[in-house]
Structure 1
Amino acid sequence: MKPDIKEIAYRLYEEYMSEEFEVFDKEMTVGSPVNVGSVYFTVLNKKPVHYLVLRKISDKYYECLKLSSFYEFATHYDIFYHLSLEHQSYIIQTDVNFYLNEDEIKNSVLLEELPEDYFDELQKFVELPEDTKLGYKGILRQGFYYPVGNKWVRAFKEKEIQIVKDYHLRIFEILDEIESTYDNIVNLPPERIENYRLSLVASTEKKTALGKNFVLYKEPEHDFINVIVSPDFLGKNIKVFLQDEKIYEGRLEDVVIAIKVKDAATVDLEKLAKDIKVEEEQ
């Protein structure tokens, strides 16, 4: 029987990850300001972790993507990258994200910065709706396996997520932190927003849309759609309607009214803006 190459690779991966790593020599760390768009190395839960700092997501935390040298398991969520310093190919796993604070990153080893055009394209890829990533065409080299299409690929992904699970779950702390900065929050039930989902044939996914006396701005990483109201309304009592339903009422002390929406990335802002009305309470 022909050996399963994926099984052989997975057994090697298991053997490698079974070792426990101690914290490395702090003299190797940089201690300099966090460099978004750079690859670092650290030890988390006694496991070696290469990661990319993708963006600053709150006052305290940065979103990071885990890298792996086991590129044999690359799915269509993964992007190939050659780490020059180590002369080694890696995959950047856009579906294995986690969150580190500034001190944790400063106590990591800075390896190298991604080329600007490569990092810009990677950021665009991360923002693509999930159902369009498989058909991506661009400068990035993408994996091709479905995560659930091969049991060894699936087992690898589960293991990778487990390594950074504690740091991934910080998202709940981050969301609490972000929500505490908003004075005006509107929670819409999922069924209320379903008619405003982007269709599969939508050509572009815009992050802003213009209304009569407001601008909509999408924060997909936080699942917020912000209604940025004209400053003329500051200090006044206003009402906000979605179609004929009142979704907000109160004295406006901040021009931002945050609408909490599940899967905000998939909302068609232009369609939503047409059905939102902001008016002063008489």
Structure 2
Amino acid sequence: MERIYLAYLDEIEKSSEDIEMTYKIDQSLKEELKKMFTPVKVNFEKQQHKKIEIGNIYLTFEEHIPIYYLIYDQIDEDLYEVLKMSQWVELGNENDLLTKIDDEWFIVETWNNFYLTADQIKSSIFYGKILSEDFELIKKFLNGEIKELPREKRGLTVGEGSYQIKFHKKESEIVRKYKLLPLEELGELENTIELPPEKEILLELVAGKEKTTAFGENFVLHKDLENNRIELILSEELQGKKGVITILDQIYQLDKLPEKIHLKPVGDIKEIDIEKLAKKITIEETK
């Protein structure tokens, strides 16, 4: 597994000279691994201007790094929520769905969503369409209708410090700047607030469509499914200002509003209706 992970690093960090390796891999073995796990070069004549539809899969590049993604939801006329995909299936864990596209295996990183405009999608390469049954599995998993993906359709269950977790961290970093497109890229802070067990923000209908992102007047809420927490991201206009944050009638006075606050629920965040929660949060600047 370490050798696969190092081959993955070699692909995404080709231009970097500071990759630390725990030991040297025999060059012939390294090349063999790269042939096994490096994505096949794409035929760029694939249809590029196909109508954008839920379930479509596209390929774009961040510098030299290939980014496959699945259209998961349409937010408005010009903005789409997408899920990152990868051909490094050996590095997937229990939150990654295994699927096959034109005889090629992929994982859909159900936890790794980001946002693209219609123009950004149209400039990508249309790659195919996910099987309808696999897309339904993803929706049920993200909506909380099922607690876990079927064993035969997911990666390995792993613990902290595993190569799968390291892989997830890298995969998230690759698309970080697209994660909160409406507010631009924001930084990380360790501020954490424990959410009280409020029934009024729990999902009323399991079958209802549950979002992983909600927008307030001057903030964005995003469900971090991997870490079972909700990220409260403040608008740039508020960051660094003195202010008051009210969350479920709990008031927090801060001399300096941060970029991001982590909200920790009592239970599973999949049971929380993030849009209801957003309506119960206010952030105001004070003098």
**Is this a same-fold pair by TM over 0.5?**
yes
Change (3 A) 1:39 1:102: same
Matched residue type, 2:198: E
Q: 2:144 aligns with which of 112, 125, 128?
A: 128
SS in 2 for 1:111: strand
Offset of residue 123 of structure 1: 1.6
- CA deviations 1:110-156 (Å, max 9, x no partner) are 11112223322322222227xx634x448x7112323x434322211
Distance 2:213 2:49 in 1: 28
* TM-score using structure 1 length: 0.57
Distance 2:5 2:264 in 1: 35
Counterpart residue number, 1:17: 12
Q: Within 5 Å, which residues of 2 pair with 1:1-282?
A: 6-19=1-14, 28=46, 30-84=48-102, 87-128=103-144, 133-134=147-148, 136-137=149-150, 141-146=153-158, 148-170=159-181, 172=183, 194-196=198-200, 205-207=206-208, 220-223=211-214, 266-267=271-272
Change (3 A) 1:262 1:105: farther
Matched residue type, 1:82: K
Give the conservation status (yes or no) of the 8 Å contact 2:50–2:126.
no
Counterpart residue number, 2:257: none
Distance 1:67 1:144 in 2: 16
SS in 2 for 1:105: helix
SS in 1 for 2:14: coil
Give the conservation status (yes or no) of the 8 Å contact 1:39–1:114.
yes
Offset of residue 57 of structure 1: 1.7
Matched residue type, 1:114: I
- CA deviations 1:155-201 (Å, max 9, x no partner) are 1111111110000132546xxxxxxxxxxxxxxx98676244659xx
Counterpart residue number, 1:232: none
Distance 1:38 1:61 in 2: 15
Counterpart residue number, 1:235: none
Unpaired runs of 5+ residues, structure 2, are 16-41, 185-192, 216-248, 250-262, 274-287
Give the conservation status (yes or no) of the 8 Å contact 1:67–1:93.
yes
Change (3 A) 1:58 1:157: same
Greater helix fraction, Structure 1 or Structure 2:
1
Matched residue type, 1:121: L
* TM-score using structure 2 length: 0.56
Give the conservation status (yes or no) of the 8 Å contact 2:143–2:206.
no
Change (3 A) 1:8 1:35: same
What is the aligned length?
A: 194
Distance 1:49 1:191 in 2: 35
SS in 1 for 2:147: helix
The structure with more radius of gyration: 1
Change (3 A) 1:223 1:168: closer
Offset of residue 32 of structure 1: 3.0
Offset of residue 93 of structure 1: 0.5
Give the conservation status (yes or no) of the 8 Å contact 2:69–2:84.
yes
Instruction: Output the aligned Cα RMSD.
Output: 3.8
Distance 1:92 1:219 in 2: 18
What is the aligned-residue identity percentage? 25
Distance 1:172 1:219 in 2: 22
Change (3 A) 1:16 1:32: same
Give the conservation status (yes or no) of the 8 Å contact 2:81–2:114.
yes
SS in 2 for 1:133: coil
Offset of residue 222 of structure 1: 3.8
Distance 1:195 1:158 in 2: 32
Matched residue type, 1:194: E
Distance 2:201 2:181 in 1: 28
